[in-house]
Amino acid sequence: MGSMPTRVDGELFQAAQMAARTQSRSAAQQIDHWARIGRELEASPRVTNQAVQLVLSGQGSYDALSEESQAVVRADWEERIAANLAALDLAAELRAEGDPWTEATADGTSVVRTPRPDSA
């Protein structure tokens, strides 16, 4: 099967570019390599998917997992954290509550933002 286009997170692509330089690969080849490792890791008999799912649901102990299973859990956590961060819009939340907030500009100056009554 040939290549198929896909979208990749910018941060992941940058990490792949950096890693690829030391491995004589392109960024796309590095991402493919990482995907294959992940696939094999999840399929490994040393990774117990049931134990991983228990940890991810808060019902199991991370420390009781094998190193391989811990790697799978960490990858999942990283994906969840990135998704949660991407979904955050604290300014909109504060605006909706009518609360002021302080932001730093590109040059480091503090600016107090006050929600306008018509923007709530």
pLDDT in tens, 72-82: 899 889 888 88
Same domain, 33 and 58: yes
Is residue 102 a part of any domain in this protein?
yes
The reported pTM is 0.55
Is residue 17 a part of any domain in this protein?
yes
Average pLDDT over residues 7-31: 88
**Predicted local distance difference test score (pLDDT) of residue 1:** 64
**Predicted local distance difference test score (pLDDT) of residue 46:** 79
Q: Considering its fold, how many domains does the chain have in total? A: 2
Same domain, 95 and 80: no
Is residue 106 a part of any domain in this protein?
yes
What integer best gives the mean pLDDT of the chain? 86
Contact 43, 30 (CB under 8 A): no
- Structure token digits, residue 96: 């909706």
What percentage of the chain has pLDDT greater than the value 90? Answer: 32
Is residue 35 a part of any domain in this protein?
yes
- Structure token digits, residue 40: 């094999």
Same domain, 83 and 99: no
Same domain, 83 and 94: no
Is residue 4 a part of any domain in this protein?
no
What percentage of the chain has pLDDT greater than the value 70? Answer: 96
**Predicted local distance difference test score (pLDDT) of residue 120:** 45
The CA-atom distances, in angstroms, between 4 and each of 7, 29, 32, 38, 97 are 10, 13, 11, 18, 45
Domain encompassing residue 27:
10-87
Is residue 2 a part of any domain in this protein?
no
**Predicted local distance difference test score (pLDDT) of residue 42:** 79
